[in-house]
Amino acid sequence: MSTYLRLRAVPAPALRNSPAWLERLFASDAEALQHRAGRCGRCPDEVLDVCSPNQERIYTGPPPDAPGSRPQAQVVLGGCPVLRTDRREPPLLVLTAAQTRRVAGFLEHADFDALWDLARDRLLPAYGGMPAEPETSRAFAMTHRELRAFYAHAAQCGKAVVKRRSRV
């Protein structure tokens, strides 16, 4: 069984701290959301139906060159947890619009190659070791670019971000 992540951008004033309301955000058909994304200059509503939580390992290692607050810890699995109605499910995670801006700023300036170098030894064994590094690195880099674009659009629109992990 694999764990995947869905991220939704939500207008900050509309955000509710209700598990039922937050879960309904993810009840919509993902394809319909993706078709609406980007129309008329609007922010994408959703990203990363196939993002593995292993992507988080790229961001949670020691920062390569930057001191200060660590928004990198919020990129994939960070945020304020909201327990779901089914307590056996992982909590939903919520980033405020301000936290979303911080994460977007971090991703905008993050050097993926430096982050990869710090995380590669922890990640490669699960993906086939050294022979698979080029393909594995490309996959993580592509997800990094998707995350960067998603957070940049959400921050530009002043949106909060809600995350849901699911098992497939």
Q: Which pLDDT value is given to residue 161?
A: 93
Summarised one tens digit per residue, pLDDT across range 42-56 is 555 665 555 677 888
**Amino acid (one-letter) located at 91:** P
List the structure tokens of 67.
Answer: 């001191």
Phi and psi angles of residue 123, each rounded to the nearest 5 degrees, phi first: -90, -40
The residue type of 32 is A
C-alpha–C-alpha distance, residues 141 and 159, integer Å: 24
pLDDT, tens digit, 9 for 90 and up, residues 45-94: 665 555 677 888 888 865 555 555 556 667 777 889 999 888 888 889 99
Q: Residues 3-32: pLDDT tens digits? A: 678 888 999 988 888 888 888 888 765 544
Answer whether 161's CB lies under 8 Å from 95's CB.
yes
